[in-house]
């Protein structure tokens, strides 16, 4: 456990190691909860961001996931989730194609179309 001090304005500084481990940065929102004499902090995460991250992780692992169930679990709209996941996958595909082009590898138009149809 690490100790920190509250300043005269009621602010406290979280140790760098904890901020880095949690990916916290200036401007991030934290939830504050009191449990008796204990104060708990939790990083606020956009539910759509969490749902997209889970959907992409499942996609990369080769598993299928029902978007309606995932949307319900994270309390987001299915079409919004589907669009966001598609945007991430498309951006990754574009970056992969750019890298291949920079590396001198070329792909035929038909091969690119087949790759897109697989999704």
Q: Report in angstroms the alpha-carbon separations of 13 from 18, 24, 112, 119.
A: 10, 12, 50, 46
CB contact set of 6 (below 8 Å; sequence gap of 6+): 12
Q: For the segment 61-91, what is each residue's pLDDT rounded down to a tens digit?
A: 999 889 999 999 999 999 999 999 999 988 9
Domain boundaries along the sequence of the chain: 1-44, 47-118
Mark the ranges of the chain whose per-residue pLDDT is less than 50: none
Rounded to two decimals, the pTM is: 0.55
Question: What is the CA 90 to chain-centroid distance, rounded?
Answer: 16
Domain 1-44 fold is: Pemi-like Protein 1; Chain: D (2.10.260)
**Which pLDDT score is estimated for 119?**
61
């Amino acid at each position: 456990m690490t100790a920190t001090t509250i300043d005269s304005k009621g602010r406290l500084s979280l140790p760098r190691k904890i901020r880095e481990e949690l990916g916290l940065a200036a401007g991030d929102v934290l939830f504050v909860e009191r449990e008796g004499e204990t104060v708990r902090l939790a990083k606020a995460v956009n539910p759509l961001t969490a749902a997209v991250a889970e959907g992409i992780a499942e996609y990369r692992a080769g598993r299928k996931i029902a978007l309606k169930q995932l949307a319900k679990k994270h309390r987001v709209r299915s079409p919004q989730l589907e669009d966001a996941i598609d945007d991430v996958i498309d951006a990754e595909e574009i970056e992969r194609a750019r890298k291949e082009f920079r590396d001198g590898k070329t792909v035929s138009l038909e091969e690119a179309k087949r790759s897109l149809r697989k999704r």
